Chains A and B, each alone.
With several copies, the nearest count.
Chain A
Amino acid sequence: MKLIIAAIKPFKLEEVREALTAIGVRGMMVTEIKGFGSQSGHTEIYRGAEYAVNFVPKVKLEIVVSDGLADQVVETIQTTAKTDKIGDGKIFVLDVASAVRVRTGETNEDAL
């Protein structure tokens, strides 16, 4: 199994989720994060004080899938989340040693 971690633009979340559901992904974990990358942040000024905010709001997806599905998931995210503008995000793939479903105790691919 693979853990696919993707940082994408927040407004793309719904679209990506739908596309992934369509190819058979049945679960994921979504976190609101602050992204740092080549996309620049913004400046906030409060009375005298100026703050350069180097972070940009992003959404992080974490999805565990069987090895067979992994490539398709990566590709789907990449094509769906793409807007051709800087800051579209990254996708990382890691190996997962094992998985368990809490409710039933099923393991590995059965757990997904």
Chain B
Amino acid sequence: MANMKKTLGLAALTTALMALPAFAADAPKLDAGDTAWMMTSSALVLFMTLPGLALFYGGMVRTKNMLSVLMQCSLITGLVMVLWTLYGYSMAFGETSGALAPYWGGLGKAFLHGVSMNSVSGTIPEYVFFVFQMTFAVITPALIIGAFVERVKLSGLMLFVGLWVTFVYFPIAHMVWGGDGLFFAKGAMDFAGGTVVHINAGIAGFVGCLVIGKRIGYGKENMAPHSVTMTMIGASILWVGWFGFNAGSALAANGTAGLAMINTFIATGAALLSWSATEALVRGKASMLGAASGMVAGLVAITPACGFVGPIGGLILGLLVSPICFFFVTTVKSKFGYDDSLDVFGVHCVGGIVGALFTGIFAAASLGGVGYAEGQTMGGQFMVQVEAVVTTLIWSGVGSFILYKIADAVFGMRVDADSEREGLDITSHGEVAYHY
């Protein structure tokens, strides 16, 4: 998301942004309207994870694993909130000096040290800024699990998540969003976290499904979603919540938020349509699961772009992303045979990359976008975007691999075969989802 400093940085270069009243004020002062919107946005982003993402994913697994998915999302939520409070916020948004300053924010704000009810961040209470950012830290690792549900071991997963947010997410968040962060200087455009959240989680999931291996019976047994209804509810909630994610990333209720919002509507509607159209062309029938996948693909792709591209750019981006993701979740996945169970890679990583790259293009003022920083060209910006994507893929890919191995060595990352057969709900949680 565009934190204050970042937005101010870009604003200096973009006349459009300078006209907004919010930026006219010199000394930051709490604004009730902005605060209202950011509290709403924070609630919306939590809503995305619980129950949004949990249902989107949960609907796609078999009944016997439903609760394990809901539970993994819930526990990740609790764990990351606690870690964020203890040191995560400080690592990501604290300020430190010295050689490590580009990589983390230090521990100065650990345990919310020095932050009070009267602390203000931009025009909103710092507490609200804290929770808004926290909801991003929560959903990112929750996204990862889609790649290896139905077989992952809970203790190993929780250890992995604790390590991953500490060594991958918090540092990357600092590098991208922290005013003195490493990537910030390079001028990569990522309005609401396409890189930090989606590419990051997508590649971590991909590595995870390779490390953990395929489900027993994969490709042979029927692994049809146990409730496409739940998946549709989840996707819809994701859409609604994503307005908080994207328009909330303006950190104010202003014209930029309005731009992020209109894009989050139009690109998603377009992606929904184009996924369905692709299915109709390729298979003769458009499925609800496809439409839900299209919604999410559109949301992912517009995330980095939503505050930079114009609505027609958003529309085109939405139309483009679905066929590309469709190609990955059908052709590419089946060709290489990895079991990325709920297509975290095919939708989040690929959709995130498509979004990041096209942001570099559609941000051009000539294409209806807000324009580039002074002196930057489309080609130049595109290369910056490529660099940001590649760096994230490598950092998160390699980091995740190491952390999976550690968690695997300590607790194991996979349940035994009998438990997998019987289902994680009974074997890991001692309960079953439905008694109709």
List A residues at the B interface (Cβ < 8 Å).
11, 14, 42-49, 51, 53
B376 an interface residue at 8 Å Cβ cutoff?
no
Contact across chains for A51 and B224 when beta carbons are under 8 A apart: yes
**Cα(A6)–Cα(B221), bound, Å:** 20
Does B293 lie within 8 Å of A44, measured CB to CB? no
Taking the nearest CB of chain A, how far is it from the CB of B327, in angstroms? 10
Q: Which of B279-298 contact A (CB under 8 A)?
A: 283, 285, 287, 289-290, 293
Chain B nearest CB, measured from A1 CB (Å): 31
B432 touches A45 (CB 8 A): no
Given A47-B329, A47-B343, A14-B222 contact (CB < 8 Å):
yes
With an 8 A cutoff between CB atoms, is B115 at the interface?
no
Whether B289 lies near A46 (C-beta < 8 A) is yes
Min CB gap A17→B, angstroms: 12
B330–A47 CB distance below 8 A: yes
Q: Nearest CB to that of A48 among chain B residues?
A: B330
B230 near A: Cβ within 8 Å? no
Neighbouring B residues of A46 by C-beta, 8 Å: 60, 224-225, 287, 289, 431
Across the interface, A48 reaches (CB within 8 A) one of B334, B431, B432, namely B334
Interface residues of B (CB under 8 A from A): 60, 217, 219-225, 283, 285, 287, 289-290, 293, 329-331, 333-334, 343, 421-422, 426, 430-432
16 pairs, CB–CB < 8 Å, chain A vs chain B: A11-B421, A42-B426, A43-B430, A44-B224, A44-B432, A45-B285, A45-B287, A45-B431, A46-B225, A46-B287, A47-B290, A47-B293, A47-B330, A48-B330, A51-B222, A51-B224
**Main SS at interface, chain A:** strand
Q: Which of A14, A44, A49 touches B426 (beta carbons < 8 Å)?
A: A44
Report yes or no: B221 in contact with A44, Cβ–Cβ below 8 A: no
Q: Is the CB of A48 within 8 A of B430?
A: no
User: Do A44 and B431 touch across chains, with their CB atoms under 8 A apart?
Assistant: yes
Number of A-B contacts (CB under 8 A): 43
Residues of B within 8 A of A49 (CB): 219, 223-224
CA distance A47 to B297 in the complex (A): 13
* Top 3 closest pairs, chain A to chain B, by CB: A48-B330, A47-B329, A51-B222
Measured in the bound complex, the distance between the Cα atoms of B220 and A45 in whole Å is 14
In the complex, A51 Cα to B222 Cα: how many Å? Answer: 6
The residues of A that contact B223 with a CB separation of less than 8 Å are 49
CA distance A14 to B422 in the complex (A): 17
Q: Is the CB of B333 within 8 A of A44?
A: no
Q: Which residues of B contact A53 (CB under 8 A)?
A: 222
Min distance, Cβ B321 to any Cβ of chain A, angstroms: 15
